[in-house]
Structure 1
Amino acid sequence: MTNTPTSAPAPRLAHTAQLTAAELREARTFLDTVFDGDFSDDDWDHTVGGMHALLTDAHGIAAHGSVVQRRVVHAGRSLRIGYVEGVAVRADLRRRGLGGAVMAALEEVVERSYAYGALSASEEGAALYAGRGWQVWPGRLGVLGPAGEERLAEEEGTTYVWAAHPRGGLGALDPERPLLFDWRDGDVL
């Protein structure tokens, strides 16, 4: 696992089922605010159902991220991966290590439960992920949708993969073969 800055507290880890209705409403409101209203119902649906890493302060949620299970078909195998969603830090607290602390907690979940981690990064978030050892997937991406395999060319170059077990690395994944994600409503990645 990568280093967590010593200045940032350790996030609380909780499964969606362990969060109260009020905590879930607060998390949804937080993500709506941090993403300037560009966080849809589908985005929220993709964020729940797994483990959340939450940092709070006197003003409420300071940082959030979650990891949910996804299936990826690659080179004839179905891989269980931890997909990172809803990583955000409140605007007044950015650049203080909170995003790194959230990611460290989520990486620990991925390391203990999955073969790989994956996420789709915004331009703003890309440096955080790359600095923690996440690598841009260099190959094709797709989804196994209702009509069969569909290419996701617009996600290529912004989807990152992380090897949960460093000695295995990404070498077991063949960039000449696509990563085919399971279907879900809304943005599939």
Structure 2
Amino acid sequence: MTTASPAPGLRTAHTADLTPAELRAARALLDVAFENDFRDGDWEHGLGGMHALVHDEAGLAAHGSVVMRRARHQGRWLRVGYVEAVAVRPDVRRTGLGGRVMGALERIVDRAYDLGALSASDDGARLYTARGWQPWTGRIHALSPDGIVHLPEEEGTTYVRPALAAPPDPAHELLFDWRDGDVL
């Protein structure tokens, strides 16, 4: 179901409610924004949840999505709203569009999940920390087909946003569900 947004040019919609043309436009934006370093697997990770899209007179200007993941923390499996595929067209960067996209995604995370999480580049981290996302300082693991694996390369680039639950304790690991490609 597509929902209207109070901000002009911004809308949220589930993957199922986006047209093939809208999906192609989002994928093309990600290719441009990430200088053709956004892989098909990365795109797959951003599908199946809610998307925030900002349009301007030139077309799709910004995009992001939030998908459901599971993470175990202190013996409890949490519903995690995992933010994916956040991008702003190069000609309109630093104009607040990334913040508008994140605002829409954070609203979804805050109302529907126990925890928000994302993996950030150094450039992206500035946006997320300015919005209250916190670097995860604990250990990160994933439940792989071969058992539990430690993901030290994800430590330091993973950010969390407590939503409905109390903030997770970094003295205890986050154990994420497995997925093909980049796990986080």
Distance 1:9 1:116 in 2: 28
Distance 1:87 1:41 in 2: 15
Q: Which whole-Å deviations, capped at 9, do the CAs of 1:23-72 have from their partners, x for residues lacking one?
A: 11111111111111111111000001000000011221100000000000
Residue 188 in structure 1 maps to residue 183 in structure 2: yes
Quick check: 1:143–1:150 contact (8 Å CA) kept in 2? yes
Q: Secondary structure of the residue that 1:119 maps to in structure 2?
A: strand
Distance 1:20 1:57 in 2: 18
Residue 120 in structure 1 maps to residue 115 in structure 2: no
Shift of 1:169: 4.7
Shift of 1:9: 4.2
Distance 1:39 1:84 in 2: 15
The two structures have a TM-score, normalised by structure 2, of: 0.93
Distance 1:10 1:132 in 2: 21
Distance 1:39 1:147 in 2: 27
Q: Which residue does the alignment assign to 2:3? A: none
Aligned pairs for 1:3-82 within 5 A: 9=8, 11-82=10-81
Q: Which whole-Å deviations, capped at 9, do the CAs of 1:106-139 have from their partners, x for residues lacking one?
A: 0000111101100000111001000000000010
Q: Which residue does the alignment assign to 2:4? A: none
| Residue type at the aligned position of 1:116 | L
Q: 2:171 aligns with which of 156, 176, 181?
A: 176
Shift of 1:76: 0.8
Q: Which residue does the alignment assign to 1:156? A: 155
Q: Which residue does the alignment assign to 1:5? A: none
Listed as ranges, the gaps of 5+ residues in structure 1 are: 1-7
Listed as ranges, the gaps of 5+ residues in structure 2 are: 1-6
Where do 4+ consecutive residues of structure 1 move more than 3 Å?
Answer: none
Quick check: 1:117–1:162 contact (8 Å CA) kept in 2? yes
Q: How many residues align?
A: 178
Quick check: 1:145–1:183 contact (8 Å CA) kept in 2? yes
Q: Secondary structure of the residue that 1:49 maps to in structure 2?
A: coil
Shift of 1:162: 0.2
Q: Secondary structure of the residue that 1:112 maps to in structure 2?
A: helix
Q: Secondary structure of the residue that 1:54 maps to in structure 2?
A: strand
| Residue type at the aligned position of 2:87 | A
**Percent same amino acid at aligned positions?**
63
Quick check: 1:9–1:101 contact (8 Å CA) kept in 2? no
Residue 129 in structure 1 maps to residue 115 in structure 2: no
Q: Secondary structure of the residue that 2:48 maps to in structure 1?
A: coil
Quick check: 2:136–2:159 contact (8 Å CA) kept in 1? yes
Quick check: 2:135–2:159 contact (8 Å CA) kept in 1? yes
Quick check: 2:25–2:60 contact (8 Å CA) kept in 1? yes
Distance 1:9 1:103 in 2: 15
Q: Secondary structure of the residue that 2:156 maps to in structure 1?
A: coil
Q: Secondary structure of the residue that 1:44 maps to in structure 2?
A: helix
Higher relative contact order (CA 8 A, sep 6+): 1
Quick check: 2:9–2:54 contact (8 Å CA) kept in 1? yes
Distance 1:120 1:113 in 2: 20
